[in-house]
Amino acid sequence: MPHPGTDTFVRLDKHHDHTSAVTATIVGTSIHATRALLSLHGFEPVAEQTMVMVRIDREEPHHAHEAAHALRAQGITVDITPELLDDINTEWTWANYPLHWLNRDEIREVSNEAQKIYDDIRHGRLTIHLHAHDGWTTVAVGTYRDGKSIHLHGENHLRVVSDIYGSPTQAIAEFERLHGDAVRPGPPPATDTERQAAQARVTTTTGEPSITATPSSEPATPKAETVPVYAAGPGDHEALLNDFLASQEEWEKYRTWDDNTSIVNHESLTLRALFDHDAEGRDIKWTLAAYETPVSDLLWHGTATASTPAEIVSTLLNSLSTENAWGRGPSTRVTETAIAEATRPLVDAGWKHTIDGRYITWEAPGVEAAGVQFDAFAAQQTNSPLPTWTVWGGHAVHQPNWALQLSAQAPAALLQDITFELSEGNGLRRIHPTTPDGPALRATQAPARVAASTPAALLPGRTR
């Protein structure tokens, strides 16, 4: 590779529309050689003098620092902005990282392998034939250009190769045997993280930025449109929690020692909500648990993501404040009558009803994607971590914009309140304006996947 020389200057900076992405602006006579060096460290060109590195594991500052060392070793002057340098010097950890036994370097190794898979798919080196949702995460089967076929497990920075096969025929047949009715054609829908990464790789300027470039104007104020409630924005969950507590004297709130979580108890000590103040996107914001008595086993449980429209969460909380929150005994099975009662508002509103193996689904009739899914298998498991009911909006049930999940013993009346709001309610969604230079991008933290969890394991002991 030609030596770029000492007359080349690179500024590394944080991407202005993506929380972790890094931009590289190149000035000098050796632009092409410098671009080649940066590409070895994950940067991709978006203009002649501008490159961007955006990963699916939020590790861009670490890799940008490595790129800076490599550039300086070639005699290239590198300037790192104070904001990016602060991120480089900040050591952080994944919350609730599932491979908790790994150290930081080992976590990066797992992420790097997931990044390679993601890049191979994106650049056409790996073709995905089929995908499915196994009840926990996304799985897929694909074939590399060299003929090797693989099974994939997981999403984003946790995606790994789970099996290797000698031929596509063998890999596909085994995948269909393992996942049966859950199998769907082609690659799975892009995750929120993948969509944000794709947006960050789109240049938002018509000309080349200079080293001293600054935003030319304040972003336009987003407008709002009225949409069906399941297509609405998340709204303000903090304000929703405070309003609920102000109107319900029988509920009281405690803040945990780290100040990141609030625990909301009903005075009977049989209902509890855990509220994660830091959760964003598809992270779990609300975790609910109900008991027959203060000392009994868990009766039913549920979760709602931070992206769930506030109007739907409000309906859930209001239903919790009535007798609807107290359900059946834990040994009682879900009946057809209970299912019909819970979903009657959807049927009355003309939602599409389908049965696919163990799943019964009701989907919204309009252009906005949303639905309610009942899992007959999970319904037969006592206190199963798998959700029996999944209420979702956007894309598909296994890759939603938001999701609310409830266990088998959640009362039918509670579900009916939610489905009525789904079928009749409206909400507001912000319209992000476009500019002549390109679409406006949203700065949001990369979300975690929607995951089923057992609130009994998450909530503290049931004491005042």
DSSP sequence for 416-439: HHHHHHHHH-EEEEEE---BTTB-
Residue 278 has what pLDDT?
A: 84
Residue 202 has what pLDDT?
A: 75
Strands 44-47 and 126-133 come out as unpaired
Strands 426-431 and 223-228 come out as antiparallel
Please tell me the distance from the alpha carbon of residue 105 to that of residue 94, in angstroms, as a whole number: 13
* 168, 310, 320, 450, 452 from 398: Cα distances, Å: 25, 21, 27, 8, 12
Residue 399 has what pLDDT?
A: 80
Decide if 364 contacts 440 (C-beta within 8 A).
no
Q: Which of 150, 126, 155, 121 is nearest to 138 (CA)?
A: 155
Strands 9-14 and 77-80 come out as parallel
Q: What is the DSSP letter of 148?
A: -
**334 contacts: CB under 8 Å, gap ≥ 6:** 379, 388, 408, 409
Residue 398 has what pLDDT?
A: 83
Please tell me the distance from the alpha carbon of residue 399 to that of residue 187, in angstroms, as a whole number: 12
22 by Cβ neighbours in 10 Å (0-12 / 13-18 / 19+) ranks as buried
- Which domains, and CATH codes, for the chain? 9-92 (3.30.70), 104-195 (no CATH), 226-458 (no CATH)
Please tell me the distance from the alpha carbon of residue 295 to that of residue 80, in angstroms, as a whole number: 57
Please tell me the distance from the alpha carbon of residue 109 to that of residue 94, in angstroms, as a whole number: 14
Distance of CA 343 to the CA centre of its chain: 26
Residues in the chain: 464
Please tell me the distance from the alpha carbon of residue 269 to that of residue 79, in angstroms, as a whole number: 57
Please tell me the distance from the alpha carbon of residue 153 to that of residue 361, in angstroms, as a whole number: 24
What sign has the CA pseudo-torsion 191, 192, 198, 201? negative
**166 contacts: CB under 8 Å, gap ≥ 6:** 148, 149
Residue 225 has what pLDDT?
A: 83
Q: pTM to 2 decimals?
A: 0.52
* 51, 52, 217, 218 from 206: Cα distances, Å: 14, 16, 15, 17
Amino acid identity of residue 55, one-letter, is R
Please tell me the distance from the alpha carbon of residue 95 to that of residue 447, in angstroms, as a whole number: 12
Residue 199 has what pLDDT?
A: 82
Helices (H), 15-153: 31-39, 60-73, 82-88, 104-122
Q: Which of 354, 436, 450 is nearest to 400 (CA)?
A: 450
Render each residue's pLDDT in the chain as its tens digit; 464 residues.
445 455 789 999 988 878 888 999 998 888 888 888 898 998 988 888 899 999 988 889 999 999 999 999 888 899 999 889 888 887 766 666 777 788 888 888 999 999 999 988 888 889 999 999 988 899 999 999 877 999 999 999 999 999 999 889 999 999 999 999 889 988 888 888 888 888 888 754 434 444 444 444 444 555 778 899 999 999 999 999 988 988 888 888 887 655 678 888 888 888 989 999 888 888 899 999 888 888 778 888 999 999 999 999 999 998 988 765 565 544 457 889 999 999 999 999 999 999 988 999 999 998 899 999 999 988 987 666 789 999 999 988 888 999 999 998 899 999 999 999 999 999 888 765 543 333 333 333 333 334 444 443 334 333 33
* 17, 73, 205, 209, 212 from 215: Cα distances, Å: 12, 32, 10, 10, 10
Decide if 210 contacts 26 (C-beta within 8 A).
no
* 173, 423, 456 from 300: Cα distances, Å: 38, 24, 10
State the Cα torsion 237-238-239-241 to the nearest 10°. Answer: 80
Strands 352-356 and 298-305 come out as unpaired
Amino acid identity of residue 126, one-letter, is L
Q: Which of 306, 326, 337 is nearest to 446 (CA)?
A: 306
Q: Which helix (H) or strand (E) holds 138?
A: strand 138-144
Please tell me the distance from the alpha carbon of residue 59 to that of residue 62, in angstroms, as a whole number: 6
Decide if 46 contacts 201 (C-beta within 8 A).
yes
* 53, 273, 320, 411, 415 from 244: Cα distances, Å: 43, 12, 11, 21, 19
